[in-house]
Amino acid sequence: SGVERLGDMIAEARAIVPFTGAGISTECGIPDFRSPGGIWTRNRPIPFDEFVASPEARDEAWRRRFAMEEVFAAAKPGRGHRALASLYRAGKVPAVITQNIDNLHQASGFASEHVVELHGNTTYARCIGCGQAYPLDWVRRRFDDDGAAPNCTACDEPVKTATISFGQMMPDDEMQRATALSQSCDLFIAIGSSLVVWPAAGFPLMAKRAGARLVIINREPTEQDDVADLVIHHDIGETLGPFVGN
Ligand code: OAD
Ligand code: ZN
């Protein structure tokens, strides 16, 4: 079966790089983007240019974020996260590349320097001008007091969740680390991603081209199924549950 083959490939691998998308966190209560009921089926994305240009867009972005706070605050790592953390502790996984912003790989036991966050992190905020970090409750307090999204106390530029929006520059350091990981692993496992958002979706292909085996675990077909060595169209928690160890 697919899970047995996955087990063999994991046992044979020297360096496994997991690449995760929103599908790994749905069992933790966080909706994905493109499934029925997903974030982009309910709200249109707010592009970075619009966030910068429009105070109304900033207020709307923060209202959406605050509306999700209970979901993010309550979320705990799922079976997929825990399986990857077990392989990490066993020395099989040097680091995880993620498109997720929910901090759940860190919560499952990955050191933060071993989580490459291509699209940032929504559990804190940053000034888009000088990069100063802010806790979300500071933003919340200011928003409630002033009735509007706050600007940086140092440089007066807008404060935004520390995530990457459409039209925003990809983080240089993360892109370089993801490139190095993709080119040096011998097994690359794409988990819970529709693989439609670039440049993130380029990493599975980059790994395959550099000689790694490619596994895709996703409920639905993806655009890269035909280049993968193994495709498992099944629930992530059920597929990776057997790999949760100590
Ligand atoms: P998507 O919502 O595009 O894809 C998630 C995939 O996970 C879907 O194909 C689902 O079928 C699958 N899935 C969900 N739950 C699953 C489960 N329990 N078991 C198996 N499969 C499951 O999310 P991403 O690919 O992560 O970026 O989206 C990529 C980027 O698009 C995000 O990082 C975000 C978004 O716009 C930005 O906002 C910049
Ligand atoms: Zn600033």
ipTM of predicted assembly, 2 dp:
0.99
Kindly report, residue by residue over 27-40, the tens digit of the pLDDT: 999 999 999 999 99
What pLDDT was estimated at residue 1?
84
User: Which strands sit side by side in the sheet containing 115-117, from one edge to the other?
Assistant: 115-117, 96-98, 16-20, 187-191, 213-217, 230-232
Residues linked to residue 159 through DSSP beta bridges, in sequence order: 127
Kindly report, residue by residue over 196-221, the tens digit of the pLDDT: 999 999 999 999 999 999 999 999 99
Is any atom of ligand 1 closer than 6 Å to the C-beta of 72? no
> Please, what sign has the CA dihedral across residues 57, 58, 61, 67?
negative
Distance CA 112, CA 116 (A): 8
pTM: 0.98
For the chain, percent helix, then strand, then coil, each to nearest 5? 45, 15, 40
Residue 117, φ and ψ in degrees, nearest 5: -95, 95
Is any atom of ligand 1 closer than 6 Å to the C-beta of 179? no
Which tokens go with 123?
């559990």
| Mean pLDDT score of the chain | 97
Which of 114, 119, 233, 234 is catalytic? The answer is 119
